[in-house]
């Protein structure tokens, strides 16, 4: 079940981020842009555990884990890694999950204290997944965004361009 949760989390994170692992996202313009089998394969994410599962006490106790996942290669040799914090009920498995991308990398490094709505979700068995889906500069990846833009302007290859949402 844990691997299923990680696979579902990984797939949702990839789809939400809009970028995909190098297996699914190739620089060759003739290559198929999306390989759904690769996107769904959590093994391709090369997860790096920064904080393993640990108990977080509170009004509603949880287990939390903090990782980074390789969600893509912007170009060969240039990894695109994103932080992900997973929060699940303390004493049972999660049944589904809620994904949110409106976070800051600095915030994700700390254990999450749950809002009243998040407490209700955890009580109901829903796992919480927090990541960053914003302008790369705010995600702590400003240099990668600048390098991507420069590489795109030089090659005009849309596969090396990271689309940032600016509001």
Tens-place pLDDT, residues 1-32: 455 555 555 555 554 444 443 334 444 555 55
| pLDDT at residue 139, rounded to an integer | 59
Q: How far apart are CA 18 and CA 133, in angstroms?
A: 9
* DSSP H stretches of helix in the chain: 2-17, 36-40, 105-108, 116-123, 142-155
Residues 81-121: pLDDT tens digits?
888 999 999 999 999 899 988 888 889 999 999 999 999 99
Q: What is the pTM of this model?
A: 0.64
Distance, in Å, from the CA atom of 21 to the CA atom of 33, rounded to the nearest integer, reads 11
Q: Are 71 and 103 in contact (CB under 8 A)?
A: no
Sequence ranges of the domains in the chain? 2-160
Structure tokens at 59: 């009004």
Strands 48-56 and 97-100: unpaired
Would you say the C-alpha torsion 25, 30, 35, 38 has a positive or negative sign? negative
């Amino acid at each position: 079940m844990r691997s299923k949760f990680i696979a579902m989390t990984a797939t949702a994170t990839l789809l939400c981020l809009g970028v995909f692992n190098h297996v699914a996202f190739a620089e060759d313009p003739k290559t198929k842009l999306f390989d759904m089998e690769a996107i769904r394969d959590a093994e391709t994410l090369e997860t790096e555990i920064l904080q393993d599962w640990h108990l977080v006490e509170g009004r509603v106790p949880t287990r939390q884990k903090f990782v980074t996942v390789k969600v893509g290669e912007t170009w060969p040799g240039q990894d695109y890694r994103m932080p992900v914090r997973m929060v699940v009920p303390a004493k049972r498995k999660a049944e589904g999950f809620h994904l949110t991308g409106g976070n800051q990398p600095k915030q994700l490094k700390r254990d999450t204290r749950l809002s009243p709505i998040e407490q209700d979700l955890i009580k109901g068995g829903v796992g919480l997944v927090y990541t960053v889906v914003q302008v790369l500069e705010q995600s702590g990846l400003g240099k990668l965004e600048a390098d991507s833009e420069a590489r795109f302007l030089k090659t005009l290859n849309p596969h090396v361009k990271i689309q940032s949402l600016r509001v």
